[in-house]
Amino acid sequence: MSQHDHSGFSRRQLVGGLMGSMATAGSANAAGNGSGAQDQNAAPPLTGKDPRDAYPKPPFERQPQDPPGLASKMVPRPDHGEESYRGSGRLAGRKALITGGDSGIGRAVAIAYAREGADVAINYLPEEESDAQEVIALIQQAGRKAVAIPGDITDEAFCQQLVNEAATQLGGLDILVNNAGRQQYVESITDLTTESFDKTFKTNVYAMFWITKAAMAHLKPGAAIVNTTSVQAGKPSAILLDYAQTKAAIVAFTKGLAKQLAEKGIRVNAVAPGPYWTPLQSSGGQPMEKVMKFGEEAPFGRPGQPAEIAPLYVTLASAESSFTSGQIWCSDGGTGTF
């Protein structure tokens, strides 16, 4: 992991590195001055789309799915960066394990990591095999090693097996992305069963603990852990009582573990998505009436697409962020929750 002091690593370099990894939804025409000469004092041309219009806006059609849901059945189909993400070698030679890597944010991160030069293992439920195989093919197309490890992370023994198998097949492990999550809305606490409450915590909190604990046998100085929390941690919805609690727990876990692992040279951070268009929503994460209007309350007037958040996971895993740990980076379309 490269080291940078305050005199050798400028803000311009950091911003440049971040922007260099961004997946572009499309290209804009640069405005010329007609003379063929470039005015060094002129502002650079805009190169991105208006974020309000970059992706589809609600209303969306009804599209209920049984959990855990498939990205391939969503309308419109989410953009995970399949066509847009361009890597620049920022994770060359790294070895990453991503839970929930078949669809949604995990899928976008897997694609981005592979195109940045990392070998990637993904975990997912057996019911998500069709989505997962698409991701495996995309990782391989990027010229990287792809490892598929299906299984239920609510089982402690499997979590240990998952980490060990990933490390064995990848030849090591230096990036862990705890991303898999369960979200099922319930209108009232009187209707929230102990079974459902327990499964949400097992998926979102216990599994993160078990997997991270097992990973400690493999992570070395310079390694990075990136957890997925949510804006729900600070702004809980009434119908997501158990889910919001787990996301708040992830924030505390991230900040506490970052302090604990600093002496080992391992960084721990988290990303807090706002409304993102993933199967988590259409497979019971929200009432269907809200899915049809999903994201309309964000200042940009639409949900985010997984391709728009993957660059944060790249940056937090890269050596360029070697002094960043214990942080929560939010992407919520302008609400500014964190």
Please compute the mean of the pLDDT values over residues 137-147 and round it to a whole number. 98
Asked if the model's pLDDT at residue 17 lies above 80, the reply is: no
Q: Examine the pLDDT at 327 and tell me if it is beyond 50.
A: yes
Check: CB of residue 99 under 8 Å from CB of residue 179: yes
47 confidence band (pLDDT: 50, 70, 90): low
**Which segments within 198-284 are labelled E, that is strand?**
224-228, 267-273
Is residue 18 scored above 50 in pLDDT?
A: no
Whether 268 and 325 have beta carbons less than 8 Å apart is answered as yes
| pLDDT surpasses 50 at 62 | yes
**CA-closest candidate to residue 78, choices 53, 108, 113, 111:** 108
Using CA atoms, how far apart are residues 59 and 50, in angstroms rounded to an integer? 19
List the single range of 31-40, 169-178, 243-252 with lowest mean pLDDT: 31-40
pLDDT on residue 318: 98
Residues 229-238 have a mean pLDDT of 97
d(CA 114, CA 136): 10
Calpha distance 338→336 (Å, rounded) = 6
Closest CA to 225 of 146, 123, 104, 313: 313
Q: What's the topology of domain 91-331? A: Rossmann fold (3.40.50)
Residue 36, pLDDT above cutoff 90: no
pLDDT of residue 108 exceeding 90: yes
Distance in angstroms (rounded) separating the CA atoms of residues 99 and 200: 15
**How much is the pLDDT for 337?**
85
Enumerate the domain spans of the chain: 91-331
Looking at the predicted structure, is the pLDDT value of residue 27 above 90? no
Which sequence positions are flagged as catalytic?
243
Longest dimension (CA), the chain: 71
The SS3 of residue 121 is: strand
Contacts of 121 (CB under 8 A, 6+ apart): 95, 96, 97, 98, 101, 146, 147, 148, 149, 165, 166, 169, 170
Q: What is the mean pLDDT of residues 50-58?
A: 95
pLDDT surpasses 80 at 298: yes
pLDDT above 50 for 26 = no
DSSP letter assigned to residue 327:
-
DSSP state of 318: S
Q: What's the one-letter identity of residue 27?
A: S
Q: What value does the mean pLDDT of the chain take?
A: 89
Query: pLDDT at residue 259 above 80?
Result: yes
For the stretch 300-315, pLDDT in tens is: 999 999 999 999 999 9
- What's residue 203's pLDDT? 98
Q: Where are the beta strands (DSSP E) in 146-266?
A: 146-150, 175-178, 224-228
Q: What is the pLDDT of residues 80-96, one digit of tens each?
A: 999 999 999 999 999 99
Q: Which two tokens stand for residue 334?
A: 């302008």
Give the mean pLDDT of 190-207: 98
Tell me what the mean pLDDT of segment 324-332 comes to: 98
Mean pLDDT calculated for residue range 114-137 = 98
Residue 255 has pLDDT above 70, yes or no: yes
pTM of the model: 0.86
The token duo for 44 is 């650079």
* Residue 212, phi then psi, degrees to nearest 5: -65, -40
Q: Quote the pLDDT of residue 338.
A: 81
User: Higher-confidence residue: 61 or 42?
Assistant: 61
Query: Which pLDDT score is estimated for 49?
Result: 83
Question: 326 near 268, Cβ under 8 Å?
Answer: yes
Give me the mean pLDDT over the 227-236 stretch: 97
Contact present, 15 and 315 (Cβ < 8 Å): no
Confidence at 48, pLDDT banded by 50, 70, 90: confident
> CB-hemisphere CA count at 13 Å for 300?
24
Contact 68, 295 (CB under 8 A): no
- Give yes or no for residue 317 having a pLDDT over 60: yes
Give the whole-angstrom CA distance, residue 176 versus residue 266. 11
Q: What is the average per-residue pLDDT within 50-76?
A: 95
331 pLDDT more than 80: yes
pLDDT of 25 > 50? The answer is no
Asked if 306 and 108 touch (Cβ cutoff 8 Å), the reply is yes
